[in-house]
Amino acid sequence: MADSSSLHSEFPGPPNKRRVKPESELALPEGTEVFSADTHISVTEDIWYQRFPAAMKERAPRIWCVNGIPTIGIGGKSFLPDGFLAVVEHYGDLPGMSHIEARMADLDAEGIRAELAFPNELLVLLGYPDLEARELCFRIYNEYIAQLQARAPGRFYGVGVINWWDAKGARRTLNELKALGLRTYWLPLHPGRDADGKPIDFASSAMTPVWEAIEDSGLPVAHHIGEGGPQYPCQFNAVAVGMLHQVTPFREMFGKYIFGGILDRHKSLRIGWFEGGINWVPSAIQDAEHVYASFQHMNNLKIEHEVPYYWQKHMAASFVVDPLGLELIDKIGVDRVMWSTDYPHNESTFGYSKRSLKQVVELVGPGAAPAVVGGNVKRFLGI
């Protein structure tokens, strides 16, 4: 078995202390374009206050920097937890965290041609209780990220955000996002409450119009880790404990897509799972088969296909460093996995991406590697 820890042990320290090291004998076939399926970008401009209409400015979250680190909040009070800010300190001073030209220079040094960039601090607005202002925040963010995308055409692809809590808003934001040239969007795993204060169940019949809008857009859904931390405090290594919890979030939504009938009702949906690795996939499929068979006498909805069908037909997942997952690739599907650097996060391959890519070649072979390190995410995005 490949040793993932060796990748990190030679390049210790936080991202803002790492230096890119050359890697000989990368062994990617000539002409391979490396496309990271998951990176992150921060916003340092006060875009919401600047772009909200005058009558709504007091409802706009503000963006400001503390010691160069961006934060989001209202009335000078940050929405970001202290733990999040403490983590960001270790990459927040990298110019490429928010500036597109500096990002491109860092990608070039790592041998990466293109990236799919998820929001960073914006995550805290997924639960913003003012739904009207929340949607406007998302629409403004989509405009902003599309402007960045235009500054690095063919290299930087921004992940947008949509309204998921009402059908008209979903269709409106999806149409706008698509017109802006964005190719996917972050859909939360925990959707919160609707305008009436009722918990949203993505698998409920009430959500059918939202899924219809999503399906009609033709754009793939992107789910990402990071929405919820551990429930109890931890005195020692709390960040590590929290991250270990964060990287295993997908099973509930995976079950809703299959057991909740979402994919049987909306057969053209495409779903991507980002930054949770790929080694979870075989066990989730295995457990789903066992659970469905074991509780068939209690199920109130019959699914149309065997469980593996839904994965192979509709889904793909990204990984950063996952040698175990790559060793299981025959059970996952070589066309269902997408390499990523996760730049500029602490857990990213920044500083040793070429070494990480070399490990991919060693584990899947030079024939399959081009799809894993670039081709599959391009197909997911329709590029």
HEC readout, 205-222: HHHHHHHHHHHHHCCCEE
Half-sphere exposure of 193 (CA within 13 A, CB side): 7
Residues 124-136 have pLDDT tens digits of: 999 999 999 999 9
In angstroms, the Cα distances linking 278 to 221, 315, 322 are: 17, 11, 7
Q: Is the pLDDT of residue 138 over 80?
A: yes
Residues 21-64 have pLDDT tens digits of: 666 556 798 899 999 999 999 999 999 999 999 999 999 999 99
Q: Is the pLDDT of residue 111 over 70?
A: yes
The span from the CA of 205 to the CA of 207, in Å, is 5
Q: What's the pLDDT band for 205 if we cut at 50, 70, 90?
A: very high
Domain 5-11+37-43+101-381, what architecture?
Alpha-Beta Barrel (3.20)
Phi, psi at residue 185, to the nearest 5°?
Answer: -155, 155
Domain boundaries, the chain: 5-11+37-43+101-381
Residues 276-311 have pLDDT tens digits of: 999 999 999 999 999 999 999 999 999 999 999 999
